[in-house]
Amino acid sequence: MSWRTGRLLAALALATTALGAPQPAVAAPLSAQGARLAQVVPAPASVQPDPARSYRLHPGTVIHVEHGAAPVGRYLAGVLRPSTGYALPVVPAWHHRTSGIVLLLHGADPRVSAEGYQLDVGRRGVVIRATTPAGLFAGVQTLRQLLPAKVEAARRQPGPWTVPGGQIVDHPRFAQRGAMLDVVRHFFTVTEVKRYIDEIALYKVNRLHLHLADDQGWRIEISGWPRLTSYGGSTEVGGGPGGYYTKRDYAELVAYAKSRFITIVPEIDMPGHTNAALASYAELNCNGIAPPLYTGTDVGFSSLCVGKEITYRFLDDVIRQLAAITPGEYLHIGGDEAHATTEPDYLTFMGRVLPIVAKYGKKVAGWHEFVKATPPASAVPQFWGTENTDPAVVAAAARGNKILMSPANKIYLDMKYDKDTPLGQDWAGLIEVADAYNWNPGSYLQGLPERSVIGVEAPLWTETLEDIDDIEFMAFPRLPAVAELGWSPAASHDWEGFRRRLAEQGPRWTLRGVDFYRSPQIPWPS
Ligand code: NGO
């Protein structure tokens, strides 16, 4: 045993003794303190309050991190310093002397697996244990929610900063818990996307799908095809100036998301939803004539030219370059609403494109229509229908595909909350918070077993959304509902409990300046 490991283990033994063993789970009404330990969205898998033991942060509190946990420790310090006004130094865990906040990469309950964590709160400190930094980061999001709401303030607030005592052992239900942002219909800056990343990270979301190309714009630089962005990226719905990400911008987003343990899944929609590319390069059109740029909101009128070889040279360039700047394992190729492509052409097209994605080392994701092209079992069809039956999707699952659930009538965040919602659309229905929450991704599609569901993703299409305030107003409070469906055990599903926990998020959003819909279904604190 090395000196360092020895010191660390000695310190841990002390920490565990100091914190004491948690009390068994309490049945019936929790005390106010005990209830606070369960005041988390998404609901943790297991909570054992111990009201006799809470921890109060103080000016001398130190954040102790095991090797490998320092970035998460620094992130936590960054969250806590402005409001507490405490220095909260981040130091190696072998200096640990039984008190403070401790982040450890071993010793967690095995149930936490790769993305979960164990959090113990005793009188002398908070210990978060996980098997990966991602798990620690999830535990840190929980710790944040266990502190009073004013911890989210940008300026120093009076304490006390008390964390309720007890133990949480937590882990996700599904591997993929995603959000999608359409940066085409309206363009959003790197700063705006980073802000959205921060907001979704709080709810343990681990995927951000970026819809990067559609009829109204092409938003990612591709070397050798400069007009895609200089011309194809120059507008958006309503005729605004649009915009695009350089490869450097995109890398910045990927790195920022990674620092929040979120993987970016880029989408280039094809063969339909391609007017911006077709307008930029006449040779991509079957008739050799470039259509004008498009700033409306119709869908289903454009198609790449399936019979021309240049289409595949173009897509080889796009997919190769996108794969090179995307560390995540998936590229999303759209495939939805190809109403201007004949069925045989669609199959021919997918037969050419699927191998290109594989050639560049990526797995493919696509809107669920592409199951008709029989993609490989590693492909992830994203279900966005409005019915709870889809035999073609169920058949794909029987062939081995895992399905990502985004039923439009449940979790399309661009749908209005009610008929008076000033933003959004209503083609898939009106979606209040209870509608977004009250369904089960593991049993929603008839004949699709839970083991064939890889997760949930909440898409946010932006035909009517122009800035970050609009995004936030549609995403909150429904995004946390979807995040809870993705993370929390099915057995914990409980609308009454959820709406009370969700209510506590309101003051936090207010303090962070996050715009949100004050749904009458939620008992917001006054
Ligand atoms: C559909 C369509 C999108 C729209 C969106 C609006 C899918 C997968 N294709 O969802 O182009 O923006 O609805 O709600």
CA of 462 to the centre of ligand 1 (A): 9
Nearest C-alpha to atom 11 of ligand 1 is from which residue?
299
The amino acid at residue 56 is R
pLDDT digits (tens, 9 = 90+) for 440-449: 999 999 999 9
Q: 341-375 as b/e, with b when 16 or more CB fall inside 10 Å?
A: beeebbbbbbeebbebbbebebbbbbbbbbbebbb
pLDDT of 168-214, one tens digit each? 999 999 999 999 999 999 999 999 999 999 999 999 999 999 999 99
Task: Enter the tokens of residue 491.
Answer: 């057995």
The 10s digit of each residue's pLDDT in 321-378 is 999 999 999 999 999 999 999 999 999 999 999 999 999 999 999 999 999 999 999 9
Smallest CA separation from ligand 1 atom 12, residue: 461
Cα 408 to averaged position of ligand 1 atoms, centre (Å): 9
- On the 0-12 / 13-18 / 19+ scale of CB atoms within 10 A, 104 is buried
pTM for this predicted structure: 0.94
Q: Which structure tokens are listed for 318?
A: 């796009």
Confidence of residue 94 (pLDDT cuts 50, 70, 90): confident
- Nearest-CA residue for atom 9 of ligand 1: 336
Distance of alpha carbon 368 from alpha carbon 404, whole angstroms: 9
Distance (Å, whole) CA 159 – CA 319:
52
Separation between Cα atoms, residue 424 and residue 98, nearest integer Å: 52
411, 461, 462, 478: residue to mutate for ligand 1 pocket, most atoms within 8 A of CB: 461
Band (pLDDT 50/70/90 cuts) for residue 13 is very low
- CA–CA distance, 253 with 84 (Å, rounded to integer): 29
Closest by CA to 134, choosing from 234, 206, 62, 215, is 206
Pairing state of beta strands 403-405 and 453-460? Answer: parallel
Q: To the nearest whole number, what is the mean pLDDT of the chain?
A: 93
- In single-letter form, the type of residue at position 504 comes to E
Does the pLDDT at position 397 exceed 90?
yes
CB atoms within 10 A of CB 105: 20
Q: Is 337 a catalytic site residue?
A: yes
Gap between the Cα atoms of 79 and 147, Å rounded: 11
Cα of 182 vs centre of ligand 1, distance in Å, is 9
Q: Which atom of ligand 1 is nearest to the CA of 427?
A: 14
Distance (Å) from CA 109 to ligand 1 centroid: 42
Rounded distance, CA 410 to CA 440, Å? 10
Of 337, 367, 383, 411, the residue with max ligand 1 atoms within 8 A of its CB, to mutate for a pocket test, comes to 337
76: amino acid identity, one letter: L
Rounded to the nearest angstrom, the distance between the alpha carbon of 216 and the centre of ligand 1 is 13
**Which atom of ligand 1 is nearest to 214's Cα?**
11
Mutate to test the pocket of ligand 1, among 299, 367, 390, 465 (most ligand atoms within 8 A of CB): 299
Catalytic member of 192, 267, 309, 337 = 337
CA of 526 to the centre of ligand 1 (A): 36
Split at pLDDT 50, 70, 90, the class of 4 is very low
Q: Which residues form ligand 1's pocket by a CB distance below 6 Å? A: 299, 336-337, 367, 384, 412, 414, 425, 461, 463
Using an 8 Å Cβ cutoff, are 502 and 436 in contact? no
